[in-house]
Amino acid sequence: MNNKLITVTSPLLPNLDEFHEMLQQIWDSKWITNMGQFHKQLEKELADYLKVPYVSLFTNGTLPLLTALQAMRITGEVITTPYSFVATTHSIWWNGCKPVFVDIDPKTGNLDPEKIEAAITPKTTAIMPVHCYGKPCDVRRIKEIADRYGLKVIYDAAHAFALEIPKNEADYNVAFNEANNCFSQNAPTKHVEVETESILNWGDMSTLSFHATKVYNTIEGGAMIMHDEATKRRIDDLKNFGIHDDVTVIGPGINSKVDEMRSAYGILNLRQVDAAIAERQKVAKVYREALRPVDGITFFDDMSGVKHNYSYFPIFIDSEKFGMTRDELFFKMKADNVLARRYFYPLISEFSSYRGLESADPKNLPNAHKMADSVLCLPMHHQLSEADLNRILSYIVK
């Protein structure tokens, strides 16, 4: 059998010759950091591409989460999901706040809006949902709850680069009413062309990750999306030690600026990310067509009217029906150099740092535990060949 290593993801890389040309400009200018020309250019191009008013670049995806909570002076309790990467909850802890875990919707993997209200106490000040796997949260419902209780909403949108949802409320309702039918082996949702808007325009702020494993990357990097110029200025100050000008420090900021090299890298990657997403969509189509008849395997289909980014392809394994546990399949593939990922397993609430929280009790999080114990993300990136896909599927489709 072919023993070539198939990784769960592969970074989008710019053309090396074009990158060298931009590096030469940086070398000539001798301006390598501190918000240089490429940094400013990338912020502007990202704002245009993502259809958002303001973007502030960060050196990774965790620091904008930390800074968003700090900038909005969030205290007390923050409602969030246990089904995410640990950075989501770590950012809450590092700000001296208490994370409160709420269960997920078993059909979406996202924070269940119907469980949020029951978790709100007089100490609750904010909600931090995650657009898990690039599948949009029910942002309209979350906004209703936040507005009713006077809570801030900060979206961890690490997976949501280029994700767009129906702009019209009626189209939105169709998409989210059908969302529960998208986790199945049924016929795929019929694609509908509707007017869309960026998911990043919802909430008080959204944060992105540009890590090498993401759809779009700057090697390491991230960004914050905000809705007004004053907030943009404040965030830009906070990510530069709180320095406003040469004699003014507005507060205890942090150093999370992006250098010119990674900014140039990001400018080049932005020019090819649409083509990479199109290749990922083809991979998702192959997986779905092959896996739909397999008993014991479920997965997400596209949502009606939603522009997806195909950042991940998680499958969920019912071991009794499939005849093999998730871990048995994971280790069998790994032994043959096919690297899938149990993402997210274990739950954040199971780590020692958070296990003692009352909200981390497994009895409160049955849906999250079930998903964590059955999920396996298959390799998903723009460079998977037909032979690669056939090899991956050979472990699942008999």
**Which residue do the tokens 């704002």 mark?**
47
The per-residue pLDDT for range 265-305, each reduced to its tens digit, is: 999 999 999 999 999 999 999 999 999 999 999 999 999 99
Kindly give, in sequence order, each residue whose CB lies less than 8 Å from that of residue 354, ignoring residues fewer than 6 positions away: 89, 99, 101, 348, 360
Residue 169's CB: how many other CB atoms inside 10 A?
9
Show the domains of the chain with their CATH numbers: 16-393 (3.40.640.10)
Structure tokens at 68: 């968003």
The per-residue pLDDT for range 83-117, each reduced to its tens digit, is: 999 999 999 999 999 999 999 999 999 999 999 99
Residue 25 has pLDDT above 90, yes or no: yes
Give the residue among 75, 60, 31, 67 at the shortest CA–CA distance from 237.
Answer: 67
d(CA 157, CA 146): 18
Average pLDDT over residues 113-127: 97
Structure tokens at 213: 């494993």
Residue 368 has pLDDT above 80, yes or no: yes
Residue 17: the pLDDT is 98
Average pLDDT over residues 121-146: 98
Residue 191 has pLDDT above 80, yes or no: no
**pLDDT-based confidence at residue 1 (cuts at 50, 70, 90):** low
Give the residue among 344, 350, 329, 347 at the shortest CA–CA distance from 392.
Answer: 329
For 141, phi then psi, to 5°, come to -65, -40
Residue 147 has pLDDT above 70, yes or no: yes
Residue environment code for 186-222, b if the CB has 16+ CB neighbours within 10 A, otherwise e: eeebeeeebebbbbbbbbbbbbbbbbebbbbbbeebb
Residue 386 has pLDDT above 70, yes or no: yes
- How much is the pTM? 0.96
